[in-house]
Amino acid sequence: MRVPYRRLLIYAIAFAVAIVMNFLLPRLMPGSPVDAMIAQFGKRATPAMIEAIKMRFGQGDATLLEQFWVYLKGIASLDLGVSTKYYPQTVVEVLGRSIGWTGLLVTTSIVFSFALGSLLGTVSAWRRGSKFDGIVSPVAVVLLALPPVVIAICALFLFAVSLRWLPLGYAWDPALDPGLSFAFLGSVAWHAILPVFTLSLFLIGDFQATMRNNMISVLGEDYITMARAKGLSETSVMFSYAARNAVLPNLTSLALALGSVFGGSIVTEVVFNYPGLGLTLFQAAISRDYPVIQGQLLIMTLATLAANLAVDIAYLWLDPRLRDQPA
């Protein structure tokens, strides 16, 4: 089982384009965070100080090509520069504090929504026209139409403000000391319920609708009729034969969902004051902290490409016909 070389080449080209765009966009935009830092010193800013600041943030007298070469070497050595907002902290240090929290939200919400949405879509198609299908399918359409910001604000108001069942925000109880203790881990799980719920609702509707349509197409195939003729149980036919083949297109939606989750996590983390990459990106955009913005966009690009590669591998594992295709 191997991933076609052409697919790997496409991923490499996409990553190269992302690096170039990530380098050029901040330099083509008007204004600069370096200029803002220099302006803070006013008349105290000597020529030597100005030059040192520009050199520290890669905006010295070097040509654009020379700056790009330094930028590439920085990526290769995991040196993404220094944050202008949190100076003298590096971008890796700033993002390192946030990436784990976003990883927790994104991974949990995607796995939960994919499993539940695919299951609901499978049962809805199998019982097409039933009361179950009549309730689940319209609800999925409604969930698809709801923006994450609406879901986040409504969930915050209902469950945290009005009912007070769940905490208002943040990642854990500030009264606790971070560590591998049951109290701290329980607090982290408790505070993650609302953000994960917000991120999952939209995806559940998407996965349910896609899986239902795929299942309806698969149920008309000859091998489903043959499986029933063999006397297999309905559960075995539904999951081992129909759902296994119908889930393949849903895997593509799984890779695409990663981009939606990253976009939704920005809104969700801002609403719930959750210390992840979304909140960090929002704060960096306000303060025009371009190095942090560049570093985060690079992480999002890598995560999306890695998700697509994982889907390609899953396709090869689930569909043996693809393994015999030339690389």
42-71 pLDDT, tens digit each: 677 677 777 777 666 655 566 778 778 888
Q: Which residues pair with 210 in a beta bridge?
A: none
Instruction: Identify the CA nearest to 267 among candidates 145, 105, 113, 111.
Output: 105
Asked whether the predicted pLDDT for residue 275 surpasses 80, the reply is: yes
pLDDT of residue 302: 83
Query: What CA–CA distance (Å, rounded) separates 323 from 1?
Result: 6
pLDDT of residue 120: 92
Q: Which residues pair with 90 in a beta bridge?
A: 82
Per-residue DSSP letter, 163: S
- Residue of 123 and 323 predicted with greater confidence: 123
pLDDT of residue 143: 84
pLDDT of residue 41: 66
Give the lowest-confidence range in 108-112, 125-129, 158-162, 227-231.
Answer: 227-231
Q: How many CB atoms lie within 10 A of CB 139?
A: 15
pLDDT band at 259 (very low <50, low <70, confident <90, very high): low
pLDDT of residue 1: 47
Asked whether the predicted pLDDT for residue 162 surpasses 50, the reply is: yes
Q: Give the DSSP per-residue string, 164-221.
A: --S-SSSSS-TTSPPSS-HHHHHHHHHHHHHHHHHHHHHHHHHHHHHHHHHHHHHTTS
Q: What percent of the chain has pLDDT over 90?
A: 5
- The pair of structure tokens assigned to 266 is 């920005």
Rounded to two decimals, what is the model's pTM?
0.78
pLDDT of residue 190: 92
Query: What are the φ/ψ torsions at residue 15 (nearest 5 degrees)?
Result: -65, -40
Average of pLDDT values for 234-244?
A: 82
Fold of the domain spanning 91-324: MetI-like fold (1.10.3720)
pLDDT of residue 318: 62
- Residue of 149 and 94 predicted with greater confidence: 94
Asked whether the predicted pLDDT for residue 180 surpasses 60, the reply is: yes
The domain ranges of the chain are 5-76, 91-324
Q: Do residues 220 and 136 touch, judged by C-beta distance below 8 A?
A: no
Average pLDDT, rounded, for the chain: 81
Asked whether the predicted pLDDT for residue 282 surpasses 80, the reply is: yes
Asked whether the predicted pLDDT for residue 303 surpasses 60, the reply is: yes
> 239-242 — which CB contacts under 8 Å span 24+ positions?
239/122, 242/122, 242/126, 242/215, 242/218
Q: Give the DSSP per-residue string, 2-15.
A: ---HHHHHHHHHHH
